[in-house]
Homo-oligomer: A and B are copies of this chain.
Amino acid sequence: MRSRLVDAALTLLQHQGAAALTVRNITTRAGCSTTGIYTYFGGKNGLVDAIFSNGFASFDQALDPFLDEGDLLGAGQAYRRWALAHPMQYMVMFGRAVPDFEPSDAGLERALVSFSKLAAGVRRAGIGGDADHRAHHIFATVHGYVMLEMAGMAPPLSVPIETLYLHALASASEPIRPPGQTVN
């Protein structure tokens, strides 16, 4: 039953958006009454929190193969691919798409796990410099690009966004070279 509720919420989220994610919609689709959400998740927040943690798990599953080998470019592409394939879930995780939802402490810890995996991947890539700083930079860049693309804020460009994304990714994950500091 617990999984039926999560599944119903996920399909509802993916097909009809966050606005359709109401307690009544979810429960009727799952085949139970509104109280089901409260007995199993303690409320709507709990269910969304499950989706939140779930998202990071699926996320890691997509990125781990690349990060385990220190392949930052591959990981970055997998990041974008996952986000574009699960836009609603991505917005729940990073964009506060569900009104009044705040991730629990457990959910936030789960998110930190994903970040530390990225930092470990950066360390494994042997790029030099502070791995945490680099991970932060890569994350910010990638997140910024994906967010803008998902928001439809891509300006008129003569080149597919994917190309720009790859350039930015390459710049952000290039090894340090002491004197010359150039980009692009």
A residues with CB within 8 A of B = 19, 91, 94-97, 99-100, 111-112, 115, 119, 129-130, 132-137, 139-145, 147-148, 151, 153-159, 164, 167-168, 170-172, 174-177, 180-184
Residue in B134, B144, B176 whose beta carbon sits within 8 Å of that of A182 in the complex: B176
Can you name 11 A-B residue pairings with CB atoms under 8 Å? A99-B100, A112-B155, A130-B158, A132-B155, A139-B144, A140-B141, A143-B148, A171-B181, A176-B184, A181-B183, A181-B184
Tell me, rounded to whole Å, the shortest Cβ–Cβ distance linking A83 to chain B.
13
Q: Are the CB atoms of A155 and B136 closer together than 8 Å?
A: yes
Evaluate contact between A184 and B95: CB separation under 8 angstroms.
no
Given contacts A145-B144, A147-B147, A153-B111, contact A171 B171 (CB under 8 A): yes
**Shortest CB–CB separation between residue A21 and chain B, in angstroms?**
11
Closest residue to A148 on the B side, CB-wise? B140
Give the complex CA separation of A25 and B155 in angstroms. Answer: 37
Contact indicator B144/A171 (Cβ below 8 Å): no
Which B residues touch A97, using CB under 8 A?
A: 96
Which residues from chain B contact A100 at a C-beta distance below 8 Å? 19, 99
B143→A164 contact, CB < 8 A: no
Task: Give the most central of A91, A97, A144, A155: most B CB within 10 Å.
Answer: A144
Closest to A154 in B: B136
CB–CB B180/A180 < 8 A: yes
With beta carbons under 8 angstroms apart, the residue of B119, B133, B157 that contacts A133 is B157
Which residues of B sit under 8 angstroms from A184, Cβ to Cβ? 129, 134, 174, 176, 181
Contact of A168 among B94, B95, B140, B182 (CB under 8 A): B140
Specify which of B139, B142, B144, B159 is in contact with A142 (CB 8 Å cutoff): B144
